[in-house]
A and B are shown apart, each in its own frame.
Chain A
């Protein structure tokens, strides 16, 4: 049923975003993460006495990690749910939930769609554009895994040299790269339509309110919920504007 409905030109992307192969890869990535955690847990338990850690202290560390992760995990879940209509469950679970992040993956998908003169979500968002965007954001995300794989052994051997990289470079380059990328992406959205512009302003305003309240009322959890809440506020604004039109 799924294979029969595959059609590169169709804007009904459901058959592709819930393709069995994408589901299989999502299950595979989750399985690898669980496998890694089991192997690490055993290794840590064995090494613990050498570091003066009792089994109870190891368990309590696992527990503190778990408790600390509840808020951020729910915040990520909210963002992930808002991306389900765009990317489908398996892609969202692997890319937004694990491995990647909402900002990078959405930016990467938007950039990839742009190389075809298409836009995410609109009338030009066909199965082919989803396929290309999904492939490009995944392969782009692999760059992080690849550099971690290559650089970790190098850093742990002779890391002194790499760590002594000019601190000005380390401070300026990533900041400039991120701000340059996200301002460009934001301005490109502004050009698409007035609704896009207002949606973006609503999102920024909601984030501003969240960060301000987090600061004034000392509610650090509001920081991590900021993006999810801003998305909901901005999409509601977009819905009201398009429904009214």
Chain B
């Protein structure tokens, strides 16, 4: 550092901040627009006869279920990722299972902890490395090999994979979430609320089917809030607490 003047240092950082605060949002926004265009084309452009009301209903049911998580995740990742890497992470996805470990390993290799400018640059570099590997794997193993493999498999096998993929995913995800969240109270509340809604409320009032999941989410949040332990929480070291929480809430989503 002795050879670098402080003006030069801050000039380099502000150049970095300028580039990433312009190109970060532009690239993330581009990804958003391309995805939106594909979604709208599938619904309205491909001759499928989906009406705007049908799409709004479906999107509404999805957002009513997951919308609150979509707001909370970015807030809880921010302290670990830092501003510039936020635009990388939310374009690329797989944050908790891939990007965060990559960033933390790279920081540890250079003896840096999250929160400094140096750590931010290291995290950005590590994410770039992770992206290269991820994209290559996806194109090779899923795009080429996977597509070929699925084309080779006999039709009954494909039919089974299609029909039973939901329970095959949800069984594992439910167990993983329960163990990752480590919250017995909320788990019990969620089991009771979900069971009452699926096995009692919906059979009695079939009109609620569309929004059963959203309803369960809202009631589980409210009930868990009132059933929460009122004991004052032990003060946790902020960085550790935040990263633990980010890992926790993100397991089953992004």
Instruction: Name the residue of chain B whose CB is nearest to the CB of A113.
Output: B58
In the complex, the answer to whether B28 meets A16 with C-beta atoms within 8 Å is no
- Please indicate the chain B residues that have their CB under 8 angstroms from the CB of A132 in the complex: 43, 48, 50, 54-55, 58
Instruction: Name the residue of chain B whose CB is nearest to the CB of A90.
Output: B38
Cβ of A148 < 8 Å from any Cβ of B? yes
In the complex, the answer to whether A61 meets B129 with C-beta atoms within 8 Å is yes
- Please indicate the chain B residues that have their CB under 8 angstroms from the CB of A226 in the complex: 172, 176
In the complex, the answer to whether B221 meets A176 with C-beta atoms within 8 Å is yes
In the complex, the answer to whether B252 meets A231 with C-beta atoms within 8 Å is no
- Find A185's partner among B54, B91, B213 (CB 8 Å cutoff): B213
In the complex, the answer to whether B186 meets A179 with C-beta atoms within 8 Å is yes
In the complex, the answer to whether A230 meets B160 with C-beta atoms within 8 Å is no
In the complex, the answer to whether B228 meets A168 with C-beta atoms within 8 Å is yes
- Please indicate the chain B residues that have their CB under 8 angstroms from the CB of A120 in the complex: 162, 165-166
- Find B43's partner among A6, A135, A187, A224 (CB 8 Å cutoff): A135
The contact size tier of chain B is 35 or more
In the complex, the answer to whether B54 meets A184 with C-beta atoms within 8 Å is no
How many whole Å from A181's CB to the nearest CB in chain B? Answer: 5
Cβ of A122 < 8 Å from any Cβ of B? yes
In the complex, the answer to whether B164 meets A235 with C-beta atoms within 8 Å is yes
- Main SS of the interface on chain A? helix
In the complex, the answer to whether B157 meets A68 with C-beta atoms within 8 Å is no
How many whole Å from B65's CB to the nearest CB in chain A? Answer: 5
A44 and B55 contact, Cβ closer than 8 Å, known pairs A81-B141, A111-B61, A183-B216:
no
Instruction: Name the residue of chain A whose CB is nearest to the CB of B49.
Output: A8
Within 8 A of B (CB), among A75-108: 75-77, 80-86, 89, 92-94, 97-104, 106-108
- Please indicate the chain B residues that have their CB under 8 angstroms from the CB of A63 in the complex: 129
In the complex, the answer to whether B174 meets A183 with C-beta atoms within 8 Å is yes
Cβ of A145 < 8 Å from any Cβ of B? yes
A61 and B126 contact, Cβ closer than 8 Å, known pairs A68-B105, A99-B35, A179-B190:
yes
How many whole Å from B232's CB to the nearest CB in chain A? Answer: 10
Cβ of B124 < 8 Å from any Cβ of A? yes
Q: How many A-B contacts if CB must be within 8 Å?
A: 609
- Report the Cα distance A73→B156, complex, angstroms: 28
A47 and B36 contact, Cβ closer than 8 Å, known pairs A8-B47, A132-B58:
no
In the complex, the answer to whether B216 meets A184 with C-beta atoms within 8 Å is yes
In the complex, the answer to whether B91 meets A99 with C-beta atoms within 8 Å is yes
Contact pattern, A 196-212, Cβ under 8 Å of B = 1, otherwise 0 = 11011111111110010
A148 and B132 contact, Cβ closer than 8 Å, known pairs A77-B138, A189-B167, A231-B169:
no
In the complex, the answer to whether B38 meets A138 with C-beta atoms within 8 Å is yes
How many whole Å from A74's CB to the nearest CB in chain B? Answer: 6
A136 and B142 contact, Cβ closer than 8 Å, known pairs A44-B125, A46-B16, A65-B129:
no
- Report the Cα distance A136→B21, complex, angstroms: 29
In the complex, the answer to whether B146 meets A81 with C-beta atoms within 8 Å is yes
In the complex, the answer to whether B75 meets A86 with C-beta atoms within 8 Å is no
Cβ of B71 < 8 Å from any Cβ of A? yes
Within 8 A of A (CB), among B131-185: 131-135, 137-139, 141-143, 146-147, 149-150, 156-158, 160-179, 181, 183
Cβ of B224 < 8 Å from any Cβ of A? yes
Cβ of B12 < 8 Å from any Cβ of A? yes
In the complex, the answer to whether A148 meets B172 with C-beta atoms within 8 Å is no
Cβ of A178 < 8 Å from any Cβ of B? yes
Most B CB contacts (10 A, CB to CB) among A8, A99, A183 go to A183
In the complex, the answer to whether A188 meets B212 with C-beta atoms within 8 Å is yes
- Find B31's partner among A86, A99, A175 (CB 8 Å cutoff): A99
In the complex, the answer to whether B133 meets A66 with C-beta atoms within 8 Å is yes
- Report the Cα distance A195→B166, complex, angstroms: 12
How many whole Å from A178's CB to the nearest CB in chain B? Answer: 6
In the complex, the answer to whether A143 meets B70 with C-beta atoms within 8 Å is yes
Contact pattern, B 56-85, Cβ under 8 Å of A = 1, otherwise 0 = 011101110111111111111011000110
- Please indicate the chain A residues that have their CB under 8 angstroms from the CB of B138 in the complex: 73, 76-77, 80, 93, 97-98
- Report the Cα distance A120→B21, complex, angstroms: 40
In the complex, the answer to whether B193 meets A180 with C-beta atoms within 8 Å is yes
- Report the Cα distance A101→B78, complex, angstroms: 19
Within 8 A of B (CB), among A9-41: 16, 19, 21-22, 25, 28-30, 32-37, 39-41
How many whole Å from A97's CB to the nearest CB in chain B? Answer: 4
Could you write out 17 A-B pairs with CB less than 8 Å apart?
A21-B45, A33-B31, A41-B125, A51-B116, A65-B128, A101-B93, A103-B169, A115-B58, A134-B39, A145-B28, A145-B90, A173-B68, A176-B220, A180-B219, A186-B194, A196-B167, A239-B160
